[in-house]
Amino acid sequence: MNARKGRRGRPPGLTRKVIGAAAMEIVEADGASALTMVRLAERLGVAPSALYNHISGKDQLLVFVQDEVLSQVDTSALAELAHEVRADGVRLNEVDDEDANNHGGSRARRLRDALEHWVRSYRAVLARHYELIPLIAVLPVAGSPNIRDMYEVVARAMLAGGLPERDVVPVIVAFENFLFGAAMDYNAPPTIFTAGPGDVVTPAFVRVLDAYTGVIDGGAAASGLAETPADPAALIDDSSKAAASLAGQVEDLAGAIEGVRNPYAAVPFEWGLERLLNGVEQVVEDAES
């Protein structure tokens, strides 16, 4: 009787964190389609029925995976700002211009820098798990404590940075819309825009495509003129200065390109990020004027 009760009980050590981590190992090794309750139970060394003591089924398992993925996003820079306001958005202490400068600049500038740190980490996490982006983009955050904690930190930091309350959610969503696409582009094939036999003639697009890709590698890979796809490692030496000039902010193109499936993704990401950050900084400055 005691043995029967033991089999029906929760296996020792089988926690939400353990289940989520094991599920992520399966996804990282074989893709999201390989994640099943049976496969997960095998990895954890338990019977599938044991998992149902912790989760209701595949849908909740996906929530665990989403929460595990986004727990990897670094919010430390935003957390420093978040500590300056209460949950209701009231500042714990007023920071004058001199104190702000001592802390790294104006509130708008500090928020901008912290947001950039968060965005770059967020993109890196999504790029590593880009197969999960369609899931993460639409799955509700209910039952995802790590994600809700992240949003709490981001919201408080934006309030501490001077962003009006009405603008906080639109800014978060705007950044995430940008990041989901940027992470997918990070993994896209370099020849994604290459025309095939019999395709309609698009002279204007081919011209602008060559004008951009020419900064990186002469335009051959993306326009389809090259016999083989470009090797990202071969694109770095002669193009860093030109690409940095085009983007305005790509200080380390070599680092941005290294290991990326699509070397053309670096400059558009920097271009878009710079303008989103400029927009947030401007909104804060306008609110304070």
Instruction: Report the alpha-carbon distance of residue 26 to residue 288 in Å, rounded.
Output: 49
- DSSP class of residue 9 equals S
- Whether 13 and 92 map to the same domain: the answer is no
Tokens in use for 101? 């400068």
The pTM is what? 0.76
Question: By residue range, what is the domain housing residue 234?
Answer: 203-261
Please tell me which residue, 186 or 231, carries the higher pLDDT value.
186
Is residue 235 assigned to a domain?
yes
Instruction: Report the alpha-carbon distance of residue 24 to residue 64 in Å, rounded.
Output: 9
Last residue of a domain, one of 144, 163, 188: 188
- pLDDT tens profile 28-81: 888 778 888 999 999 999 988 888 888 888 888 888 888 989 999 999 999 999
- Whether 52 and 116 map to the same domain: the answer is no
Cα-Cα-Cα-Cα torsion 78, 83, 89, 93, nearest 10 degrees, comes to -130
Is residue 33 assigned to a domain?
yes
Say if CB 172 and CB 162 are below 8 A apart. no
- Whether 184 and 89 map to the same domain: the answer is yes
- Whether 20 and 105 map to the same domain: the answer is no
- Whether 64 and 157 map to the same domain: the answer is no
Is residue 124 assigned to a domain?
yes
Rounded to an integer, the average pLDDT of 163-169 is: 95
Last residue of a domain, one of 124, 159, 188: 188
Is residue 287 assigned to a domain?
no
Find the helix packing angle between 16-30 and 58-70, rounded to 10°: 90
Q: Looking at residue 8, which CATH number applies to its domain? A: 1.10.10.60
Domain count, the chain: 3
Say if CB 68 and CB 136 are below 8 A apart. no
For residue 53, report the phi and psi dihedrals to the nearest 5 degrees.
Answer: -75, -15
